[in-house]
Amino acid sequence: MSTSDYWQKVAEATRNLPDHKLLDVVALIDRLPDEGRPLHVLEAMRGRLTRLRPPRRLTIQRLLFLPVEDLFDPPDAYRRKIGRLSRAVIRVCWRTLVERGDAALIESTARRLKGLETHEPAELMPVAAPLWRSAAATLADAHAIAERDRMAGVKMFGRDDDLLRQVGDIAIIFGIGEPIMTAKFELPAKPIQSISAGQAEMLTRMIAQLGSSQLVLAKTFVLVLAARMARPGDLLEVLDSARFPCQVTERDTMVREVEASIIANLVREAQALRSTAKAPADPVAATETARRLVEGLTSLRSSMKSLSEPATMAHIQSARREIAGYIMGNVIDRAERTMASLIGADAGSAGSSIETLSEPQLEATEALALSLRHCAGMGEAVGIQREVAAKLRVVCDSLARSIDALNLTPEAQERRLYGTLRLIEMIEGPEAAEALWLKGLERLGFGPAM
Amino acid sequence: MDQRKETDYVPGSFAERGLTVPFTTPIVAQARVRLDGNDRIEFILPSLSGGKGRYVMPWSTVQSLATTTLHDRALYDRMSPGVIETPAALRRAALQVASKGLAGPKAARAAQAALAADENSQVSANFLLVARLLSLVGMSTSDILDDERRGEVSRTRVRAALGRVADSLTLPKADLYHRVEALSVLISPLGLADAPQPGRLRDLARTLAAFTAEVQNWATSTVADVAQLGSFVGQVANATQAMVQAEIDRFDAALAQPAAIFKAWEGRAGAMKASVARTELLLDGWEYLLGLWRVAAERDNAEKQSAIADLFRLLPMIPKSEGRFASAKEYVDLGNVQRRWVRANEDWRSGRLDFDQVHKIEAIKAQLR
């Protein structure tokens, strides 16, 4: 078997591996020298790696693309004209840098990178910043040549104008690599749920400073960081508070472009759920996906200029419908079946009763219950609150009935009582759980104070 | 609603400070509990915005302010003036509630282990105390173990030897046995200095010392103004740790001469009890905060900044009765910094029960001893 056949088989085999085994494979691959690393195997795992986010070895390429990474989409999910980048452009940019850039700097940076003991900002930034600056200059130069000289442009980047646009965007991002990475280091990990007033002040200062040089720099900075936010609307508020030395119309145009890009990307992701639904995700992961999109959409303020446009509103409505369908199919229905098997174990159907579950199984069941709670929270935002509430009512009623099992030992009864109460608390709330708790204590004779 | 804001930032005494309650509802997590003038239970909550002042309220108001978890309702159900009298009694009540699984399966396992460890620490303290007494009449622990190995009945020899100790102290044997038992229970939270497994409070004091160094180091290497909060947290931790260490040194010195304690039982046992109680009060509230930092320390800088803001909000201030460490002005100035690092859009501040935050608290609870 040739080496490439071997790696092809590895890539195929990883599809069915559980998460922890997949991470072991990634760690092994990351230990291989750069020239021997089977990148296509990693590419085959990309979707799951994005979700699992294991710590990865920092190679020279990964270091270079750190400021850009949040805008990348897999080639098959990439959509034009919304300010995103296809992962396929990495190869093009890297080739351009190797052919036209400062080879000595690339080599010395790779050497210094291997010598780093940590990847703390204070150690990393002095190594990376010269590389980003040099890469920005090289790509900007190649981009300018391609725009001036069509033939030369085709030779370097092919005939696709969108690829040229992406190279231009990446050149700009490399040029502001330092402020982008400074902000990323100071902000919470992706997805950023919320930012403090102090962090908002820092971002306002940085945006204003970049915008005072060129508005496009502020726009690019915001687009990169917005891709890290669970609620990009919060960042748009920060952008709104920044002042720039330009005409109001210029500023408004820039803000509108950023808004349009963020909305279009959320809509794209929501529409992509339909294809994901064919290969259903784990309900807990599916809930997280849906929550991220719903949070993103609800963070868009009515004050946003783009939201007054009927076409944009229609897109958002369609995105909401997609998310609603995804929630019902991938979370509610499946979680309902899992809970039913848990409850139905008494009646002899397949599954385990709650008091017999191991700690990991109990945690997984609680995670599922929490997903249902999140779905109830999202119901209103996507217009399915009635359907979700009805389903949850059925699940909770069945759970409540399961507490009354009479054929258990007192210890098992107690374990079932508390295990079930936790699920009901998560799904329906503590009040419902408390009422059942008091009733259960009385009936089982545990006394009011347990 | 009795929602008065206290004008001062530092409590006058431990009684005024109250005891920390390990609630899992985010808005009341690490609230403090005490008895009011009419011996009714009242809760002290740090300011919700992270700013100055404290809220003092009964449970009914807590319930109207926020939806609390079933764990917290069950824990409140166990609270009585007796339970909230000492950190140890309150901790035991909280462990019993968590052991049922109301704070999740991991916290249940941790609580069951902690309850078992409490029992073991009493047995261990008893063994080491007896060993110290036996050494007074020339019998060592290795003698006892040798007897065990030879299959001889060591208990008879031990009783005889303890009888000789009682005679030398001019105490009735039964009194000595009773006092050894009572002292073992009394000192078990701190344990003996030479115990193979350090006592819970001794271990906590060591962790606090390590945390102090770590947070001070972080504060000096951080540029953002949140570093001021880290520095202040480090100062309070350092002062608390110094007081705790001094108390432990006194405790160990007294325990080095157990015969003197058993002879002058009334006064010395009271002093040992007071020493353990003061250590417990000084460390009250720190265990959760150390867990909070341990989680943040493994994450990025933004998480550390946010954790420091939380630590500052929940910081167990040393009562004035124990010494003075910060002026009210300093505290107000720092409160202004702290408000800037409170993150917006967190559901728990609205009073809604945010289960993602509850799980974070439960995860810390699952790590506690």
pLDDT value at residue B194: 87
pLDDT value at residue A403: 83
Looking at the complex, does the CB of residue A204 fall below 8 Å from at least one CB of chain B? Answer: no
pLDDT value at residue B151: 59
How far is it, in rounded angstroms, from Cα A259 to Cα A98? Answer: 35
Judging contacts by C-beta atoms under 8 Å, the chain A residues touching residue B69 are 425, 430
Its sign, for the CA torsion A124, A130, A131, A136, is positive
**Contact predicate A414/A426, CB 8 Å:** no
- Residue B20 belongs to what H/E stretch? strand B19-20
The number of C-alpha atoms within 13 Å of B119 and in the hemisphere containing its C-beta is 5
* Angle in degrees, CA A187, A190, A193, rounded to 5: 75
Of A301, A193, A306, A191, give the one whose Cα is nearest residue A241.
A301
Secondary structure of residue B34 in the 3-state scheme: strand
CA of B29 to nearest chain A CA: how many angstroms apart?
16
pLDDT value at residue B192: 93
pLDDT digits (tens, 9 = 90+) for A175-199: 999 999 999 988 988 889 888 888 8
**Contact predicate B353/B66, CB 8 Å:** yes
Q: How confident is the model at residue A384 (pLDDT cuts 50, 70, 90)?
A: very high
Q: How far is CA A193 from CA A196, A200, A320, B237, in A?
A: 10, 13, 20, 30
**Contact predicate A223/A183, CB 8 Å:** no
A450 or A253, which is more confident: A253
ipTM: 0.84
Place of tokens 């009271």: B270
B contact set with A (CB within 8 A): 67-70, 73-74, 77-78, 96-97, 100-102, 104-106, 109, 224-226, 299-303, 305-306, 309, 339-346, 353, 355-356, 359
pLDDT of A449 above 50:
no
pLDDT digits (tens, 9 = 90+) for A226-277: 999 999 999 999 998 899 998 889 998 999 899 989 999 899 889 888 776 5
pLDDT of A15 above 80:
no
Name the closest residue on chain A to residue B337, using Cα atoms: A198
pLDDT value at residue B6: 41
pLDDT value at residue B5: 38
CA of A194 to nearest chain B CA: how many angstroms apart?
6
Secondary structure of residue A408 in the 3-state scheme: coil
Question: What residues have CB less than 8 Å from B181, skipping those under 6 apart?
Answer: B126
State mean pLDDT over A371-376: 92
**Contact predicate A401/A440, CB 8 Å:** no
Domain boundaries, chain B: 14-365
Looking at the complex, does the CB of residue A291 fall below 8 Å from at least one CB of chain B? Answer: no
- Contacts within 8 Å (CB) and 24+ apart, A400-408: A400/A424, A400/A436, A401/A343, A402/A343, A402/A346, A402/A353, A402/A354, A403/A436, A403/A440, A404/A443, A405/A346, A405/A353, A407/A346, A408/A355
Point out which residues pair with A229 in neighbouring strands: A192
Secondary structure of residue A190 in the 3-state scheme: coil
CB contact under 8 A, A429 and B345: no
The number of C-alpha atoms within 13 Å of A283 and in the hemisphere containing its C-beta is 25
3-class SS string, B168-234:
HCCCCHHHHHHHHHHHHHHHCCCCCCCCCCCCHHHHHHHHHHHHHHHHHHHHHHCCCCHHHHHHHHH
The number of C-alpha atoms within 13 Å of A392 and in the hemisphere containing its C-beta is 27
Identify from A125, A425, A442, A444 which residue to disrupt to test chain B contact, counting B C-beta atoms within 10 A and taking the largest count. A425
- Residue A152 belongs to what H/E stretch? helix A150-157
- Residue A173 belongs to what H/E stretch? helix A161-175
* Cβ neighbours, 10 Å, residue A252: 11
Secondary structure of residue B55 in the 3-state scheme: strand
**Contact predicate B36/B48, CB 8 Å:** no
- Residue B41 belongs to what H/E stretch? strand B41-46
CB contact under 8 A, B342 and A196: yes
pLDDT digits (tens), chain B, 369 positions: 443 334 456 888 999 999 999 999 998 999 999 999 889 999 999 876 655 568 899 999 999 988 999 999 999 999 999 999 999 999 999 999 999 999 999 999 999 999 999 999 998 899 899 888 888 888 877 777 676 666 555 667 778 888 898 998 899 989 999 999 999 999 999 999 988 889 999 999 999 999 999 999 989 887 777 888 899 999 999 999 999 999 999 999 999 988 899 989 989 999 999 999 999 999 999 999 999 999 998 887 788 888 998 899 899 989 988 876 665 666 666 666 666 666 554 555 556 788 989 999 999 999 876
Name the closest residue on chain A to residue B107, using Cα atoms: A359
- A 104-163: CB under 8 A from B: 121
How far is it, in rounded angstroms, from Cα B241 to Cα B251? Answer: 15
Secondary structure of residue B5 in the 3-state scheme: strand
CB contact under 8 A, B343 and A196: yes
Q: How far is CA A223 from CA A174, A180, A219, A312, in A?
A: 14, 11, 6, 18
pLDDT of A82 above 90:
no
DSSP B240-263: HHHHHHHHHHHHHHHHT-HHHHHH
CB contact under 8 A, A194 and B343: yes
Name the closest residue on chain A to residue B69, using Cα atoms: A430
Among partner residues A185, A197, A434, which is closest to B301 by beta-carbon distance? A185
Name the closest residue on chain B to residue A411, using Cα atoms: B100
State mean pLDDT over A129-154: 95
Of A396, A442, A390, give the one whose Cα is nearest residue A420.
A396
Looking at the complex, does the CB of residue A419 fall below 8 Å from at least one CB of chain B? Answer: yes
Residue A131 DSSP class: H
Judging contacts by C-beta atoms under 8 Å, the chain B residues touching residue A400 are none
Beta A85-86 vs A72-73: how paired, if at all?
A: parallel
What amino acid occupies position A151? M
Q: How confident is the model at residue A23 (pLDDT cuts 50, 70, 90)?
A: confident
CA of A228 to nearest chain B CA: how many angstroms apart?
14
State mean pLDDT over A132-161: 94
CB contact under 8 A, B341 and A449: no
Percent of chain A with pLDDT over 90: 48
Beta B54-57 vs B32-35: how paired, if at all?
A: unpaired
**Contact predicate B89/B83, CB 8 Å:** yes
Q: Provide the token pair at A89.
A: 């452009």
CB contact under 8 A, A366 and B104: yes
CB contact under 8 A, B102 and A366: no
Q: Highest mean pLDDT: which of A33-42, A100-109, B292-301? A: A100-109
Of B239, B235, B255, B249, give the one whose Cα is nearest residue B202.
B249
pLDDT value at residue A105: 96
What amino acid occupies position A271? Q
pLDDT of A31 above 90:
no
Distance of CA B202 to the CA centre of its chain: 10
Q: Provide the token pair at A92.
A: 């093009």
Q: Provide the token pair at B150.
A: 């030879």
pLDDT of A433 above 90:
yes
Distance of CA B22 to the CA centre of its chain: 11
How far is it, in rounded angstroms, from Cα A258 to Cα A232? Answer: 10
How far is it, in rounded angstroms, from Cα A431 to Cα A44? Answer: 47
CB contact under 8 A, B96 and A425: no
Judging contacts by C-beta atoms under 8 Å, the chain B residues touching residue A429 are 67, 353
CB contact under 8 A, A430 and B68: yes
